[in-house]
Structures are given as structure tokens and as C-alpha cells.
Structure 1
């Protein structure tokens, strides 16, 4: 098999971001854990910060089953969620101001929930973060007809990226960053992260429209419903796992 394109220079230092939360509703659910880090060209973590928040509401058993954080643990060891949201937002804003692209898998979930949390707690939200790199959107765009699910675990395995400790914020964020780099080595991405960010806005909108059409056809959505394709920050809409 011929070698793919080399890693673009703008992916040799990349931010990575992930949240674990109380649920999947971006407007009403809350941050539980967060991670922001930086990877080098080899996908090695060269800077990192993690947060554990007391979300101020009970953590449902279903969410605990995913990420392992109980209400009791968050209350005993977590920091007040307004402080965590402010610090995570500030960390991401600092990366964007430096021109560092930030990878987030299914970015419209994490950035939307963070923005809603910020607004809830009086923190200036990131309403138009850029440049963002979303391996989920990119993978669907470049390998549209590949069968199977597109969860981070599945996509990481497809691109031979190890993922140990899935649904832990740092593990997911680092794996997502490495998947982004793997995608760039396999496919010829746009010349710079700003162009890629712009392309992803259109790709996400088209992907949401196609998925809406499919879900309506199999009865998972009503004909008048529509998945929200705004990216990387959207408002609440039907969320289908």
C-alpha cells in the first residue's frame, strides 16, 4: 500500500479536549470531569490538565456506569462546577488565541454542553471556538460508506490507535487527537486548520441531514423532527445515540 501524505505541520502540536457529563442533553446536563491537553507530532502528551467537578446535581446511575464517577465521589472530591467550567473555558480560549487547533471527538456535544454550562454559571462562553478538529466528522466525510458504528472506540481501532480506559476524559481526548493525526496521514486534508474547520461546518450539516432522513425512514424520528447539524456549537435538539 502506498504511503499516505505526511502529517501537516499544523498537526504537530495540537490541543485535545473531552468532557464526561451527567448525560447527553447539552442544555440541561452538567460537567463531571474535563481534560485539556497538548499532543506532539508523535501523539505524546506534552501538557495536560484534568478537572473533577461537583456538578451540583445527582449523577444518574446510567452516567456513572459510563464514566465511573458517583454522586458521592463528585461531592466529596470535586470542585464547584462554576470554577471548573471557568477554568476549562479559559484553557481552551488560551489555546485558540495561540492558534493551536483543538481536537474533540463529536465536538458539537462537548463544546455545546460547555457553552451551556458557562452561560448557566455566568462565565463568558466559547460560542464560536476555532479552529476545531472533529475526527468523527472528518472520518464520515472521507470514508462515508464504511459500514459499522462510528464511536470513538470503533474508529480508534479502525485507525490502529490504542484506547485504554474509554470514557475517561483524558484517555478519550488523547485517543481522539491520535485519530486526528492518523486521519491526516491517510487522507489529504485541507492545507490549514482554518480551512478544515470551515469544511467541517458544511460536512456536519450534511451528515446531520442525511442521518435525519435515515432515522425518519426507519421510524426513529418523526417526519417533522431534524437533528441539529450546527457545528462546533449547537443548541439542543434530538440526540440519538
Structure 2
């Protein structure tokens, strides 16, 4: 779907369009203007000095009076160390929105470098919206770990065979963690479990199903999947970031 997006640079609405000079710190922050109802793609190239550093992209939206309206967060584990990786997230400006601040952060003690920061306005054509409506994009992840004696956990993780951290739910709030958790569990795909990966009632459930190869960790609550399945997940996130919405289900014994 992303290949069919008509993307154009907004020249009048943004405080900052492109930053090509590189920087280095544990946090990178920029503010830009919004048009209510419009969609924007915010992207940057980042690398860190640590393997599988969980970099967090946060976007905070405010109105003309500086009042907070909404935020969105995207967590990515960077391949590395010292390998450039492109990170992007889509922001939709709600009614009354005037400006947004995007913040990219790395864990404490991790050195982060960035360049090629871009803000672009994104328009979806009717064909793209139809794909979403028909459920032809993935809306969530199902990890089939049956037969491995996987244990339920508060912070289950998904790793690739080569050791890349694919999912950890690091940006979850304590309240959400207590109420819903970063994943759901079940022996079969019941209607309740499917609702976990359904964005809303107007969108069909379309899960990306992967098979766990082994369990890992002292609590035996994390899994290893194949490198090809890990890449399929990362590719799917370019269209719809279901991991940022914790749309994850583990099938267990």
C-alpha cells in the first residue's frame, strides 16, 4: 500500500522540512506545524552504538493554546551496532491541532546518531482505503507457540533467529499494561482474541501468523521466530504498525 501513496512535501505548513546535517545525542527533537485532518509521515535515519537498541519515536500534538491533544509512539529495535536504519511513523492531525513535536530517544547510556530528518504530508487514494476496509493489510500479529510450553508473562518478547528484537512493547503505559497487557494469550483463536487485533468494527481482522521455533528467557515467556518471519513482520509494519498498538496474540498450550 505504501508504494501507492501519493507523497508530497508541504512547503508552507511546516516549520522544518528536511534536515540533512547529522547529529549525535541520546535524544532528537523537532517541532512542526500541522493542518487539522491531514496525515504526515515523519522519518529519520538513526544508528546507535548498541546491538538491538530499542529506539522510541514519540509524537506529541498540541492546539494553538499549547494544550496537549494526542500522542503516538513507535518503538523499533535497531539492527546494529553502527548500522543506519530508517524509522518512520504516520501522524494524523486531529481537529484543533496546530503543531506537533517529534522526539526520538535511545535508552540511557546509548549513543545515537541521526540524519536525513523529513516531514511529508501523505495522501491515501481510494484504492488504499479500500484495501484497509477489506482487511487486505495485516492488523495484528499471531505467534503460534503451541507445543513449546510458553509461559504467560507481563513483558513477552519476540526475537529473530539471528537475535534481533522484533517486539517488546517498551512504550506501554503502566495503566495499559495492568488493564490489557502487551499481548493476549489463548489456545485457539476465539472471537475475544481476534478483537485484540481488530483496529475497529469497520476493519476486517487480517492477522499475520508466525510460528515460534523456541522459547527464551529465564521466565520462559519470550520466543524465537525465523529470520524470514521477522522480516515479514517488519515489512508489514511499513503499511500498518500493529505492534505500536500492541495487537499481538500468543497461542499457547
What TM bracket, shorter-length normalisation? under 0.3
TM (norm. structure 2) is 0.24
Compare the two structures and name the one with the higher helix fraction. Answer: 1
* Structure number with bigger Rg: 2
TM (norm. structure 1) is 0.25
Compare the two structures and name the one with the higher strand fraction. Answer: 2
